[in-house]
Structure 1
Amino acid sequence: MKTLMVFDFDHTVVDDNSDTWVKRCLPDQNLPNSLTSSYREGHWTEFMGRVMNYIGDQEVGPDRVRSVLETIPFTGGMMDLLSFISEHKSTIDCIVISDSNTMFIDWILQAAGVQTAVDQVFTNPARLNELGYMEIQHYHSHDCARCPVNLCKKNVLEVYLSEKSNGGVEYERIFYVGDGRNDFCPATCLRGNDVVMPRRGYTLEKLLKRQTDEAPLRARVAAWSSGSDILKELTASLRP
């Protein structure tokens, strides 16, 4: 039986938000107030579509966007963790579930040379349209009231585990590593043998501390500050 590592991306794998990092490709590195004030709670993907349209209107091409995204820093110790996972693919599967988009994540992982660590990325599909502007779509639709309209990470994880089980793959232990509000929902579907790892000082840790009877948690909680903390938990679980 294998181990499954599940990662959020922004403020987890990388030490910032790739969606907000992208504004650095603009000449003044800022978005107009009329654009930033257009965000509605739970509708981040639509907002990012407007951001990328604005960036395209400023004649900033995809090559410039990519070069800027490739400079986003990885969280401390994360490169060593991903390298370890790459070296142990026979016993460790690794997926990313993120509310970013396919192009940003692929560019960042490839530039760092760690894409071999990640087996699958579940995130909002992105493509370049005929003008060379990036367009972002919802990952899926769902009926979870707790999550943003475009992505329920619990739904994604449950479908992934079901498909793996149907293919004969069962996981001895799942590690779920994240930081944000939308990482709480998938934590509630973990089993007693699993581990949810919230980043210290971030929203997920606070939510886990005040969990309610409506969303009981079975998994063990182990907070982390760096990839080294996660690697210690992982290697300890792999010992006979």
Structure 2
Amino acid sequence: MKTLLVLDFDHTVVDDNSDTWVIRCLPGERLPDSVTKTYRKGHWTEYMGNVMNYLGEQNVTPDQIRLVLETIPFTEGMKNLLTYVSRRKDAIDCIVISDSNTLFIEWILRAAGLQAAVDEVFTNPARVDERGSLEVRRHHAHSCPDCPVNICKREVLRRYLSERAEYGAVFYAGDGGNDLCPVACLREQDTVMPRKGYTLEKRLLQPGRPVKPRVVAWSSGQEILEELKARD
């Protein structure tokens, strides 16, 4: 039976937030208050739409955004992890579930030559619109009260698993609060891997929060790789 590796993207695969990295396209690398004050908790994709509109108004092109995104650093060891996964497609499936967007993730993985490692990406759809600006939309509508309005990672993972043959083991690696919800999909033979010092690890350690899967914290992609190799 194959193994499934599920990865978050921002602060997991890459060592920063790809959405905020685009601000480096602007002079002074900052947004005006008129844009930043449009953010509402749980409505990040709507806010990023406002950011993209502003970049377009400043004549920042999609190519300029792509070139800036290609400079975002990968988290230590992640390139080795993804290279290994790309060579073991007979035994390992790999998906990304992220609150970023399709274009950012595609550009970053392609520039690093790592797109072959990832079988599917579940994130907010993005495209270049008729004006030549980037447009970002919600991944889906859902009713989960614990997740941002644009994506519930548990719903995404549950649907993915329901449509495929059973995996021998699932490894889920992430860092943020929105990576807690999909942990409910995992079984005792699975492993949740929170990044050390980040929100997911802190929430998993809260008293009275029972979780079925094994919990193994990580600080480098190499540690995730070693866990995979032990299973492989």
* Fold agreement, TM-score > 0.5: yes
* 1:229 to 2:214 alignment: no
Q: Using the alignment, how far apart are the partners of 2:44 and 2:29 within structure 1?
A: 20
Q: Which residue of 2 aligns with 1:189?
A: 185
One-letter amino acid of the structure 2 residue matched with residue 24 of structure 1: R
TM-fit CA distance, 1:211: 5.7
Alignment-mate amino acid for residue 188 of structure 1: A
SS in 2 for 1:171: coil
How far apart, in 2, do the equivalents of 1:88 and 1:60 lie? Answer: 39
CA-to-partner distance for each residue in 1:76-123, whole Å, 9 max, x for gaps?
000000000001000000000000000000000000000000000000
Which stretches in structure 1 are left out of the alignment for 5+ residues? none
Aligned: 1:97 with 2:97: yes
* Number of the residue aligned with 2:204: 208
Question: Sequence identity of aligned pairs in percent?
Answer: 64
- Give, in whole Å, the separation in 1 of the partners of 2:14 and 2:35: 25
1:117-162 deviation digits (Å, cap 9, x = unpaired): 0000000000111111111111000110000011000000000000
TM-score by length of 1: 0.95
In structure 1, the partner of 2:23 is 23
1:182 to partner: Cα distance = 0.2
Structure 2 SS opposite 1:76? coil
Residue of structure 1 in register with 2:172 after alignment: 176
Give the Cα separation in 2 of the matches to 1:38 and 1:50.
8
Assess, with a 3 A threshold, how the Cα gap between structure 1 residues 145 and 211 changes in structure 2: closer, same or farther: farther
Q: Deviations over 1:49-76 (max 9, x none)?
A: 0000000000011110000001000000
Post-superposition offset of 1:208 = 0.2
1:23-70 Cα deviation digits (max 9, x unpaired): 001122111122112210000000000000000000011110000001
Residue 34 of structure 2 is aligned to residue 34 of structure 1: yes
* TM-score of the two chains, using structure 2 as the length reference: 0.98
Where do 1:141-156 residues align within 5 Å?
A: 141-156=141-156
Find out whether 1:118 has 2:118 as its counterpart. Answer: yes
Alpha-carbon separation, structure 1, partners of 2:26 and 2:159: 38
Q: Does 1:63 align with 2:63?
A: yes
| CA contact 1:211–1:217 (8 Å) conserved in 2 | no
Q: CA deviation at 1:172?
A: 0.3
Gaps of 5+ in 2: none
Aligned length: 232
